[in-house]
């Protein structure tokens, strides 16, 4: 139970320090209200339009494609770490070391190829291009 | 026997064949995305599912998974986290059969549809997941297989992109699915926290106190945690099998989805949910010991769920106007019937009632798929959705309507059809289990009452089709080959399964006995 008292005290101090800093600055600072201070911060630019913007679905496509590579990395790293030891050991054949990863990458590649061929990486089109496309 | 020459991983053949088929379809679509070669796409999918079915039947006949004492090859452990026994093969057969039926039927349903290859590969991918669910015996592989079955299903429900109902159904299905997945994963983490294992057999060892003392897994202190985890697992399975308390997505999703997909979800997906449910609860949480650890037997939970699910499904179905919605609620009711299989288990027996539930799922795979495919046919004709719209269809399409009558009477459990026998076995099994717990008498009574009630709304549809007069303004009805073929095969199987019920009974009872005993 003693450990928990220490952790609780740490959490309390962790909360008190930022709250105390905010309180002190609140008491010390001069208050000069100004409209530009209340506006949404957009990297120094003057904000335009509302915040509920409709994003192009292409962003979503790119995020999904990113997932292919993301998962690939997540599994490739631990595999690469164990690879050299596995190759040197006599208990496992090269096929058993290399095969599953090649299969895995091949499956991901099929997914990527499918997305590519079905236009997931074609960047957003202007209305005129879309018209030209549908005429074909 | 020839099977000995195959390496062990080939025991997962039925699922692997489906996976390869799905990838082949994706590869084909990558090479020629605008192809309109529908015969090739549908043909590949049909060939893949039929091969999977053939291999699964062959394995069963050759004795894969049959205990060595009975002259089989024993349970095969193809790779970490999977096991191929009679139970797995039995449900792989159900999944493959339903997949083949709905792929054949989809050929006509999908005329003029923009996403042909995607549709077929998603169906086969989902079937792969369901097939793997049948063989998974670790909570991790179960979860991954379950997601592999679920994610394509969400897309399939919403595949009619321009149809508001389809998109809405897809969204609802997806939201409830993610919620129940989250609950399921949390349940897994609690079970893992309490037992320190994910493999079902290892969990069972910890639960029954077979691990050595001082190994850090003193289960008696963790009873509450484990019990909570088990309840959450039940929640996850309830979603997949469309039973109370996660049943409410079913009517929405089935009504909005393309009818072949409704058939797929309500038959194959439900069966896959049940096989995991059966396996997890019989293997990981053995009845005799679990009561001492968590303070209650999980059969109590299933007795309550079975009664509520049966009653709710059937009473809601009786009040529907839309045929598809009626079938959706009846599908919930049938999930309740199958739940009796778990409710009736006892510490030292119950393979009769569980075998009966498995038989019911097989027969259900034919009759319910057939019924939804008839709805698909009606949608193909464009006659409308309600009972009145179906009036007098028999005058114009007698063959399909005769098949529909077979499905309806079989679903209601009228004697000459397959549905009667599985329900009869469920009833007998429930009565047998009543010697151990009197609550099973209530379950058996509710089963009979609900079957009688279900006869009302099933025969209402048959009456509309056969007896009512057709409206004067209906056009001639087309006879699409694929849909007709699938419906007739399903109808024939619903009847033929009666003389062929012997082997089915044996297979189901063996499979149930293997996991219960």
> B33 vs A118: CB contact, 8 Å cut-off?
yes
CA count, 13 A, side-chain hemisphere, B411: 38
Contact between residue B103 and residue B481 where contact means Cβ atoms under 8 Å apart: no
- pLDDT at position B1 is 43
What would the mean pLDDT of A56-82 be, rounded to a whole number?
85
* Residues 6+ away with beta carbon under 8 Å from A105: A72
Asked whether residue B125 is domain-assigned, the answer is no
Q: What is the pLDDT of residues B419-448, one digit of tens each?
A: 888 888 888 888 888 877 788 888 889 999
Contact between residue B356 and residue B343 where contact means Cβ atoms under 8 Å apart: no
Answer yes or no: is pLDDT of B2 > 50.
no
Q: How far apart are CA B134 and CA B145, in angstroms?
A: 9
B482 pLDDT tier (thresholds 50, 70, 90): confident
Q: What is the pLDDT of residues A111-123, one digit of tens each?
A: 888 888 887 777 7
Coil, strand or helix at A51: coil
Q: What ipTM was assigned to the predicted interfaces of this complex?
A: 0.75
> A116 vs B23: CB contact, 8 Å cut-off?
no
Query: What is the residue extent of each domain of chain A?
Result: 57-131
Q: Which residue has the tokens 């452990």?
A: B77
Nearest to B23 among A110, A117, A119 (CB): A110
* Mean pLDDT, chain B, whole residue set: 86
Please report, rounded to a whole number, the percentage of residues in chain B having pLDDT higher than 90.
30
Strand segments (E) across chain A: none
Q: What CATH fold (topology level) applies to the domain A57-131?
A: Methane Monooxygenase Hydroxylase; Chain G, domain 1 (1.20.58)
Asked whether residue B508 is domain-assigned, the answer is yes
CA dihedral B92, B243, B22, B80 (to 10 degrees): -60
Nearest to B337 by CA among B318, B359, B322: B359
Q: What is the pLDDT of residues B90-119, one digit of tens each?
A: 899 999 999 999 999 998 888 888 888 889
> A116 vs B29: CB contact, 8 Å cut-off?
no
Residue that wins the pLDDT comparison between B87 and A24: A24
Q: How far apart are CA B135 and CA B142, in angstroms?
A: 9
Answer yes or no: is pLDDT of B242 > 80.
yes
Asked whether residue B187 is domain-assigned, the answer is no
Measured between CA atoms, how close is A19 to chain B, in angstroms? 34
The domain total for chain B is 1
A129 pLDDT tier (thresholds 50, 70, 90): low
Structural domain boundaries enclosing B395:
297-517
From chain B, pick out residues whose CB is under 8 angstroms from the CB of A107.
23
* Residues 6+ away with beta carbon under 8 Å from B367: B406, B407, B410, B411, B417, B418, B419, B490, B494
Answer yes or no: is pLDDT of B213 > 70.
no
Length of chain B: 517
Here the tokens at position B422 are 């599985």
Q: Which residue has the tokens 């007739």?
A: B488
Contact between residue B190 and residue B229 where contact means Cβ atoms under 8 Å apart: yes
Bond preceding residue B299 cis, omega within 30 of 0: no
Q: What is the pLDDT of residues B122-160, one digit of tens each?
A: 999 999 999 999 999 899 999 999 999 999 999 999 998
- Minimum Cα–Cα distance from A109: chain B residue: B27
Q: Give one word for B382, left, alpha or beta, with left for phi > 0 and alpha for psi -120 to 50.
A: left
Residues paired with residue B76 on neighbouring β-strands, in sequence order: B84
- pLDDT at position A134 is 59
Q: How far apart are CA B204 and CA B195, in angstroms?
A: 9
b/e burial code for range B17-56 (CB count within 10 A of at least 16 → b) = bbbebbbbbbebbbeeeeeeebeebbebbbebbbbbbebb
Here the tokens at position B419 are 């549905």
- Minimum Cα–Cα distance from B118: chain A residue: A114
Coil, strand or helix at A72: helix
Long-range contacts for B167-173 (Cβ within 8 Å, ≥24 apart)? B167/B256, B168/B252, B168/B256, B169/B252, B169/B253, B169/B254, B169/B255, B169/B256, B169/B257, B170/B253, B170/B256, B170/B257, B172/B249, B172/B252, B172/B253, B173/B249, B173/B252, B173/B253
Give the lowest-confidence range in B57-66, B225-234, B417-426, B444-453: B57-66
Computed over its alpha carbons, how large is the radius of gyration of chain B? 22
Strand segments (E) across B166-206: none
A14 pLDDT tier (thresholds 50, 70, 90): very high
- pLDDT at position B309 is 92
State the Cα angle at B150 between B40 and B370, rounded to 5°: 60
What would the mean pLDDT of B385-411 be, rounded to a whole number?
87
From chain B, pick out residues whose CB is under 8 angstroms from the CB of A113.
27, 30
From chain B, pick out residues whose CB is under 8 angstroms from the CB of A121.
none
Asked whether residue B57 is domain-assigned, the answer is no
Nearest to B368 by CA among B417, B337, B328: B328
- pLDDT at position A132 is 65
- pLDDT at position B329 is 92
Whole-structure pTM value: 0.86
Nearest to B104 by CA among B378, B369, B328: B369
Asked whether residue B439 is domain-assigned, the answer is yes
State the Cα angle at B78 between B75 and B79, rounded to 5°: 130
Q: How far apart are CA B181 and CA B367, in angstroms?
A: 29
Nearest to B23 among A107, A116, A119 (CB): A107
Residue that wins the pLDDT comparison between A65 and B213: A65
- pLDDT at position B183 is 93
Q: How far is CA B74 from CA B68, B90, B394, in A?
A: 5, 15, 50
Q: How far apart are CA A74 and CA B253, in angstroms?
A: 34
A51 pLDDT tier (thresholds 50, 70, 90): confident
What would the mean pLDDT of B76-88 be, rounded to a whole number?
83
Nearest to B361 by CA among B275, B439, B293, B430: B275
Find which of B29, B30, B119, B151 to mutate to test the A interface (most A CBs within 10 Å of its CB): B30
> At CB < 8 Å, which residues of chain A contact B?
107, 110-111, 113-114, 116-119
Measured between CA atoms, how close is B34 to chain A, in angstroms? 9
From chain A, pick out residues whose CB is under 8 angstroms from the CB of B27.
110, 113-114
- Minimum Cα–Cα distance from B33: chain A residue: A118
- pLDDT at position A5 is 85
From chain A, pick out residues whose CB is under 8 angstroms from the CB of B30.
110, 113-114, 116-118
Q: What is the pLDDT of residues B180-199, one digit of tens each?
A: 999 999 999 998 988 888 88
Nearest to B310 by CA among B379, B348, B360, B268: B360
From chain B, pick out residues whose CB is under 8 angstroms from the CB of A118.
29-30, 33
> B26 vs A116: CB contact, 8 Å cut-off?
no
Give the lowest-confidence range in B154-158, B212-216, B415-419: B212-216
């Amino acid at each position: 139970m003693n450990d928990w008292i220490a952790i609780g005290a740490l959490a309390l101090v962790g909360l008190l320090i930022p709250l105390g800093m905010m309180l002190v600055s609140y008491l010390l600072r001069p208050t000069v209200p100004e409209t530009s201070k209340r506006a949404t911060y957009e990297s120094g630019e003057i904000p335009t339009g509302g915040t509920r913007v409709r994003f192009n679905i292409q962003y979503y496509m790119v995020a999904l494609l990113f997932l292919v590579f993301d998962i690939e990395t997540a599994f490739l790293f631990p595999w690469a770490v164990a690879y050299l030891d596995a190759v040197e050991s006599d208990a496992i054949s090269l096929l058993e070391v290399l095969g599953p990863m090649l299969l895995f990458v091949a499956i991901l590649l099929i997914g990527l190829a499918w997305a590519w061929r079905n236009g997931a990486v074609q960047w957003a089109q202007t209305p005129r291009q879309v018209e030209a496309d549908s005429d074909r | 026997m020839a099977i000995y020459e195959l390496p062990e991983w080939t025991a997962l053949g039925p699922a692997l064949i489906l996976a390869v088929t799905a990838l082949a379809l994706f590869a084909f679509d990558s090479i020629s995305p605008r192809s309109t070669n529908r015969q090739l796409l549908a043909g590949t999918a049909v060939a893949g599912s039929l091969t999977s079915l053939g291999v699964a039947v062959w394995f069963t006949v050759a004795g894969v998974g049959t205990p060595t004492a009975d002259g089989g090859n024993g349970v095969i452990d193809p790779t970490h986290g999977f096991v191929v026994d009679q139970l797995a093969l039995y449900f792989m057969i159900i999944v493959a059969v339903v997949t083949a039926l709905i792929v054949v039927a989809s050929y006509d349903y999908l005329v003029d549809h923009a996403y042909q290859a995607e549709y077929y590969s998603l169906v086969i991918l989902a079937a792969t997941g369901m097939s793997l669910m049948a063989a998974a015996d670790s909570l991790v592989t179960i979860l991954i297989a379950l997601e592999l079955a679920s994610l394509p299903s969400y897309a399939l429900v919403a595949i009619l992109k321009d149809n508001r109902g389809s998109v809405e159904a897809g969204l609802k299905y997806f939201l409830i699915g993610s919620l129940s997945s989250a609950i399921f994963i949390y349940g897994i983490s609690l079970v893992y926290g309490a037992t320190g294992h994910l493999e079902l057999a290892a969990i069972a060892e910890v639960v029954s106190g077979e691990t050595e003392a001082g190994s850090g897994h003193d289960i008696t202190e963790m009873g509450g945690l484990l019990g909570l985890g088990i309840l959450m697992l039940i929640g996850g399975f309830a979603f997949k099998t469309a039973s109370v308390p996660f049943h409410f997505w079913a009517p929405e999703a089935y009504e909005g989805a393309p009818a072949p997909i409704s058939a797929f979800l309500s038959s194959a997906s439900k069966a896959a949910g049940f096989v995991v449910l059966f396996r997890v609860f019989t293997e990981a949480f053995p009845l005799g010991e679990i009561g001492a650890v968590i303070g209650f037997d999980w059969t109590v939970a299933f007795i309550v769920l079975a009664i509520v699910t049966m009653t709710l499904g059937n009473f809601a179905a009786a009040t529907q106007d839309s045929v598809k919605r009626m079938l959706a609620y009846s599908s919930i009711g049938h999930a309740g019937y199958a739940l009796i299989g778990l409710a009736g288990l006892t510490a030292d027996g119950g393979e009769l009632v569980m075998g009966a539930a498995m038989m019911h799922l097989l027969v259900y795979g034919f009759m319910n798929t057939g019924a939804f495919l008839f709805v698909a046919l009606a949608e193909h004709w464009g006659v409308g959705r309600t009972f009145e719209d179906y009036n007098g269809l028999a005058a114009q399409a007698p063959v399909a309507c005769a098949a529909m009558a077979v499905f309806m009477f079989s679903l209601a459990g009228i004697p000459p059809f397959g549905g009667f026998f599985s329900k009869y076995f469920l009833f007998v099994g429930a009565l047998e289990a009543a010697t151990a717990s009197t609550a099973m008498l209530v379950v058996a009574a509710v089963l009979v009452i609900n079957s009688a009630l279900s006869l009302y709304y099933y025969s209402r549809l048959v009456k509309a089709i056969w007896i009512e007069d057709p409206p004067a303004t209906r056009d001639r009805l087309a006879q699409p080959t694929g849909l007709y073929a699938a419906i007739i095969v399903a109808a024939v199987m619903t009847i033929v399964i009666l003389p062929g019920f012997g082997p089915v009974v044996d297979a189901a009872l063996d499979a149930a006995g293997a996991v219960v005993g």
